[in-house]
Amino acid sequence: MTRLILKLGDITQEEVDVIVNAANSGLVGGGGVDGAIHRSGGPAIMEACKKIRAERGHPPCPTGQAVMTTAGKLKAGHVVHTAGPIYDGGRAGEAEQLRSCYTSSLALAVESGARTVAFPSISTGVYGYPISLAARVAVQAVRDFVAEHPGALDEVRFVVFSPDDEAVYRPLLA
């Protein structure tokens, strides 16, 4: 049975097979979680992103999809980059796109042989997705994936950066 864990902390310090990055569709780096992962992982991650951009064209990682790179100097085995939706009041299919971020990231992780995955709270920073709505989508998407793929993963962690975000996720994972 897959364990779902909630952690308050820095996702770049997680020792897991896969860290998921809340990236942008261009894989060009950015702020928030994306910036922290690139800074901590070093230039190897950006070099791998450049290679994906050259191979896939633009955008190399459309909203809701995922791609995998090296983890560089991170303690993880790989980084899965997924581009979350920009929140527009929920009228533009954001929930389905966000759900796809989680399921496509998990599918890619499982395909690579990963057993442990750590997620940030995707799209809840500068992309403006309300944490109360995004957390429900995230937890349900992960629960559905692990139910459909029993035994594929040992652990999925939700790693949040603030006590306020932790308070939103805690009852959903109780």
**Has residue 30 got a pLDDT over 90?**
no
Neighbours of 56 (CB within 10 A): 14
Q: Would you state the pLDDT for residue 100?
A: 98
Q: Would you state the pLDDT for residue 106?
A: 98
Q: How many angstroms separate the CA atoms of 44 and 58, rounded? A: 21
Neighbours of 128 (CB within 10 A): 14
Q: Would you state the pLDDT for residue 26?
A: 95
Mean local confidence (pLDDT), 135-150: 98
Q: Would you state the pLDDT for residue 82?
A: 98
Q: How many angstroms separate the CA atoms of 5 and 76, rounded? A: 17
Report the range of poorest mean pLDDT among 25-34, 62-71, 111-120, 123-132: 25-34
The rounded percent of the chain whose pLDDT value lies above 70 is 100
Q: Would you state the pLDDT for residue 59?
A: 92
The rounded percent of the chain whose pLDDT value lies above 90 is 97
Q: Would you state the pLDDT for residue 58?
A: 86
**Has residue 57 got a pLDDT over 90?**
no
Assign domain 3-172 to a CATH class: alpha beta
* Catalytic residue selected from 10, 17, 34, 88: 34
Is 164 considered catalytic here?
no
For all residues of the chain together, what is the average pLDDT? 97
Instruction: Tell me the pLDDT tens digit for each residue of 58-107.
Output: 899 999 999 999 999 999 999 999 999 999 999 999 999 999 999 999 99
Instruction: Tell me the pLDDT tens digit for each residue of 100-110.
Output: 999 999 999 99
Q: How many angstroms separate the CA atoms of 116 and 131, rounded? A: 23
Residue closest to 7 by CA, chosen among 172, 171, 169:
169
Q: Where are the domains of the chain?
A: 3-172
- C-alpha to C-alpha distances, 131 to 105, 143, 151, nearest whole angstrom: 19, 18, 29
